[in-house]
Chain A
Amino acid sequence: MSNCKSDVLFHKLSAKKLEESREIEFRIRKDLPDCKKLSAGKVHAFVGTANGVYDGSDRPENQLECMRKGCINSGTLTMNAANDAVDYFFPYNATEFSAGVLTFYVKGNPTNVTVTLSDDAAFTNTNTYTVAPAAAGADGFRVVFIDLSQPPTSTEGTGWVPSSNGVYVRVSSDAVVGYSSFAFFDSIEDFELLDVVKVACLTTMGGSFDLNIIEEACTEVQYNSQITSLNFPLTGRQVTPNYHKLNPMLKKGTADEGFEIVTVEKTVDTNGRIQLTDMDMAVCGYTAVQLNDACDVASATLTQINAPIAITLDASHFQILPAPTGAYVYLNQRHANKSVLVSYPRRAEVEEYEASVNNLNSVHTSMVVPYILGENDKYLYIFDNVYVTSFPMAITSDTAEFAFTITIGRGEGGVFYRVLHVRG
């Protein structure tokens, strides 16, 4: 009865195990700062016989930020005629954005838009920029983007002298247009909104997405749709150097000078002192001195006396005072000509980051995860709204691993993730 047996099976796919070349990509998106905005409806004055009508419901789509949705922009002031000019007053400290960026939207088809900035309402001393707006978006609005660190097209009088009293802005155009959503930014760096971080050499990727079943009285058993998040553990051995940007608490600080701790061997001069020309005097503490040739290691480490003037020191003390360059480390005269080890903060060029909770909700992270089945079947899982809830800081003497815990939240339309089947 061999004809009744069949060992033929359908073709299937098996998941390929994690290989070194597989990478997970994170896109980190920051929000544009939006504190120096002005609605086009807040007209200071129309120039001459110019006039216009404001419609609060006619709002442009956000063209300055990738993916950011919501009511970012305000309504539109439509002018009656081409070349009609309208003045606005921005009650902000103009010295903060004098070399920054001015953006707004125009609705219509102008060749050029003319923007004049002045410190006085009479526009006596001005800078004027004549610029072409960007291509129109689907809603007909065009972005005007003026880099104020570039020289203007023309100046009048002494030119615009930016002050903390605010700035007057006059806008006109060579066509009938509407204006919307004015905003000043402190610098072009405010538009550094996107970063990509990659995690590779993966050892663990994802878990399972668990759904709960509920059974209520008088109803059938059903899924509980009230879940709010899914977890996705991720461990890799390699990360791109900018991986700290995945830490949602970190925000770039302003310092470009800082310090690193170094240890050097020095000989105490005949005055009982050592000069450290590159010591960062702004940093308190972190300086340690140890006698290099002492038999008794326990008593070889000296203690700092924190006094602002030179004092008579015991053999177990040292003191730091400013030198013409850097600092002097003073010791007891008994240590003259002896070798000492000094550990101190040395000045260095740095990039500073500050960790605080203030930054948490202005950074948005999304993630693309490839799943590979068979040779030509690649599935890209796209998570548009993920939260890094555990950031790796531990380093062991074993092979270092970077273990993240990712919580997947709902994206637009309540969607947790999308799957793209890439067929080649």
Chain B
Amino acid sequence: MKKSNLNIDQWVANQLGALATHPNQHLANILSSRVIANAAKIKNMKPEVTVEEPAPHVTEKEEKKDVELQK
């Protein structure tokens, strides 16, 4: 199963880094505020910003087997 990962702090850092070199600093300031606000919204919705799906070696079948054994 493919790993689904969102490092939101890294994303904000990358965005602000790029905007620091933006040729229109007035627009860059507006966009920086927007990026920070949008990141905060996501963080408030999801306390854990790094989401990882089950490791690839654990298949659905194996998980079911574990449940049956426990019974």
A residues at B contact (CB < 8 Å)? 93-96, 98-100, 127, 149-156, 158-164, 186-187, 189, 254-256
Given contact pairs A95-B22, A151-B6, A186-B27, a sample of 13 additional A-B residue pairs in the complex whose CB atoms are under 8 Å apart: A99-B32, A99-B34, A100-B31, A127-B11, A151-B38, A156-B5, A162-B14, A163-B18, A164-B21, A189-B27, A254-B24, A254-B26, A255-B26
Chain A nearest CB from B42 CB (Å) reads 5
Within 8 Å CB of A159, what residues of B?
Answer: 7, 10-11, 14
Interface majority SS (helix, strand, loop, mixed), chain A:
loop
B residues at A contact (CB < 8 Å)? 4-8, 10-11, 14-15, 17-19, 21-24, 26-27, 30-32, 34-35, 38-39, 42
Within 8 Å CB of A96, what residues of B?
Answer: 22-24
Within 8 Å CB of A151, what residues of B?
Answer: 6, 8, 11, 38-39, 42
A256 to B30, CA, bound (A): 11
Within 8 Å CB of B6, what residues of A?
Answer: 151-155
Chain A nearest CB from B56 CB (Å) reads 15
A151 to B17, CA, bound (A): 15
Q: Across the interface, do A149 and B18 meet the contact criterion of CB distance under 8 Å? A: no
Number of A-B contacts (CB under 8 A): 74
A156 to B5, CA, bound (A): 7
Our pick among A98, A100, A149, A160 for the contact of B38 (Cβ within 8 Å) is A149
Q: Across the interface, do B21 and A161 meet the contact criterion of CB distance under 8 Å? A: no
A254 to B27, CA, bound (A): 7
Sample of 30 A–B contacts (CB below 8 Å): A94-B18, A95-B18, A95-B19, A96-B22, A96-B24, A98-B15, A98-B18, A99-B19, A99-B31, A149-B35, A150-B38, A151-B6, A151-B38, A151-B42, A153-B6, A155-B6, A155-B11, A158-B14, A159-B7, A159-B10, A159-B11, A160-B14, A161-B14, A161-B17, A161-B18, A162-B14, A164-B21, A186-B24, A189-B30, A254-B24
Within 8 Å CB of A127, what residues of B?
Answer: 11
A102 to B45, CA, bound (A): 25
* Nearest A residue to B8, CB-CB: A151
* Nearest A residue to B4, CB-CB: A154
Q: Across the interface, do B8 and A149 meet the contact criterion of CB distance under 8 Å? A: no
A153 to B58, CA, bound (A): 23
Q: Across the interface, do B26 and A256 meet the contact criterion of CB distance under 8 Å? A: yes
Within 8 Å CB of A255, what residues of B?
Answer: 26
* Nearest B residue to A149, CB-CB: B34
Within 8 Å CB of B5, what residues of A?
Answer: 154-156
Chain A nearest CB from B48 CB (Å) reads 14
* Nearest B residue to A150, CB-CB: B38
Chain B nearest CB from A287 CB (Å) reads 26
Q: Across the interface, do A158 and B10 meet the contact criterion of CB distance under 8 Å? A: yes
A93 to B38, CA, bound (A): 23
Chain B nearest CB from A276 CB (Å) reads 25
Within 8 Å CB of B10, what residues of A?
Answer: 155, 158-159
Within 8 Å CB of A186, what residues of B?
Answer: 24, 27
A186 to B15, CA, bound (A): 13
Within 8 Å CB of A161, what residues of B?
Answer: 14, 17-18
Within 8 Å CB of A95, what residues of B?
Answer: 18-19, 21-22
Chain B nearest CB from A71 CB (Å) reads 29
* Nearest A residue to B49, CB-CB: A151
Within 8 Å CB of A254, what residues of B?
Answer: 24, 26-27
* Nearest A residue to B17, CB-CB: A161
What 10 A-B pairs have minimum CB-CB distances, sorted nearest first? A162-B18, A99-B31, A98-B18, A95-B18, A254-B26, A149-B34, A159-B10, A95-B21, A151-B42, A161-B14
Q: Across the interface, do A155 and B27 meet the contact criterion of CB distance under 8 Å? A: no
Chain A nearest CB from B53 CB (Å) reads 10
A363 to B7, CA, bound (A): 41
A94 to B22, CA, bound (A): 9
A363 to B34, CA, bound (A): 27
Our pick among A149, A150, A155 for the contact of B7 (Cβ within 8 Å) is A155
* Nearest A residue to B24, CB-CB: A254
Within 8 Å CB of B39, what residues of A?
Answer: 151
